[in-house]
Structure 1
Amino acid sequence: MSVNMPQAFAVLASALLSITAALSHASDAEDMKLVAALDEQYQQAVKDRDAATMDRILADNFVLVLGKGQTFGKADLLKEARGKIVYEHQEDTHRTVRVWKDTAVVTALLWVKGTDDGKAFDHTLWFSDVYTRTPNGWRYVFGQASLPIAGTL
């Protein structure tokens, strides 16, 4: 009996890819925990002005849309992290994480307080952060923030 090495290799490679794909996709509950932890890391990186961590989490084609329609990309956020904003608070509550296969959405109420070039700010807003699963792990690809809301929830 002769073994067709190219065919045997192809079958083995296909089996290994199937196993790897199955193992690389955690359960929805595990994905929810991973994405929640990643979003917490991102929020802390913003507060700490940690551009290196932000750079690692943000996708290269990241887009942020604010309540009045202004848009910002990854480079804009990294520049801001190196700028003159100082956060006293960058904390979120009422967090929910939803997962649909390779897409996850984090929604939360964010309280930000600090100074921007010496000018004080203090507001609360809702945000949604969209993450997508990539070959290199989850990446933050899109964010949308509401206008500041009056009062607290």
Structure 2
Amino acid sequence: MDASCTTEIQTLERQWMQAWVDNDLATCAAILADDFLLASARGVLMPKDAWLANEGSVFKCTSFEWIELVVRPFGDVAVVHGRSRQQASVAEQDWSGVFLTTDVWVRRGNGWRVVARHGTGPLPG
């Protein structure tokens, strides 16, 4: 396993989710690839522009923590499996709890960008 790749992507995952909590759209936009696509836990496919448009308005997060974060590098692609806990809302409905996510990162040029996220949750009890 490429330890530097693992550390870099774990750091980027943490920066992305902290930017979500902080409503820092510039950081989110820089981390998301232009062809990013979310397969949400609510059953919606959402591209980057829609995700950014909803961040901080429809999507609000007040706390987020990674419970587990596993990076699996495959050359210029890495798959990340995570378990997280969040306090959040979607369209003013509580969306807090524990979630599973799978993210796909691609190395483009000098850096890594996330191209896909699939979320599952909130998980029961």
Q: TM-score, normalised by structure 1?
A: 0.74
Q: By how many angstroms is 1:150 displaced?
A: 0.5
**Which has the larger share of helix?**
1
Match of 1:148 among 107, 122, 125: 122
Aligned residues: 125
**What does 1:113-152 align with in structure 2 at a 5 Å threshold?**
113-116=87-90, 118-151=92-125
Corresponding position of 1:40: 14
- Alpha-carbon deviations, 1:54-104, whole Å to 9, x = none? 000100000011235310110111112241543222212111111010011
**Which has the larger share of strand?**
2
Structure with the greater alpha carbon radius of gyration: 1
- Alpha-carbon deviations, 1:110-143, whole Å to 9, x = none? 2121344544332211001110000131001010
CA–CA separation in structure 2 for the residues paired with 1:84 and 1:100 = 34
C-alpha spacing 1:82/1:89, structure 2 compared with 1 (3 Å):
closer
Corresponding position of 1:75: 49
Amino acid at match of 2:61: Y
Q: By how many angstroms is 1:36 displaced?
A: 0.8
Aligned-pair identity (%): 29
Q: Which runs of 4+ in 1 moved over 4 A?
A: none
- Give the structure, 1 or 2, with the largest relative contact order (CA under 8 Å, sep 6 or more): 2
Q: TM-score, normalised by structure 2?
A: 0.89
- Computed over aligned residues only, the root mean square deviation of the Cα atoms, in angstroms, reads 1.8
Say whether the 8 Å CA contact 1:97–1:106 is kept in structure 2. yes
CA–CA separation in structure 1 for the residues paired with 2:47 and 2:120 = 17
Amino acid at match of 2:55: A
